[in-house]
Amino acid sequence: MIESVILFLIYLCLIVAAFWLILWVLGQLGVPIPAQVVKIGWVIVALVCILILYKLLLAPLIGGHLVLK
């Protein structure tokens, strides 16, 4: 279990670093990126990380299905 959490943290760092690198490169190339687009991008990154965390921790506990009560 602890290995999975460490692997998740590594994936989290890689996802965030990749998105930041994309923003940095586009900024260095002079591509204007509106602030709202950057915010939406970070929200998408956060949602992807939450999805990975869900699949890592909760899916094995409840049989891989989302249970709503």
pLDDT value at residue 63: 64
Tens of pLDDT along the chain (69 residues)? 678 788 888 989 999 999 999 999 999 999 999 999 999 999 999 999 898 888 887 766 666 555 555
pTM value?
Answer: 0.73
Position 56 scores a pLDDT of: 81
pLDDT at 54: 84
Asked if 41 contacts 16 with a C-beta cutoff of 8 angstroms, the reply is no
Closest CA to 12 of 61, 38, 58, 47: 47
So what's the pLDDT on residue 53? Answer: 85
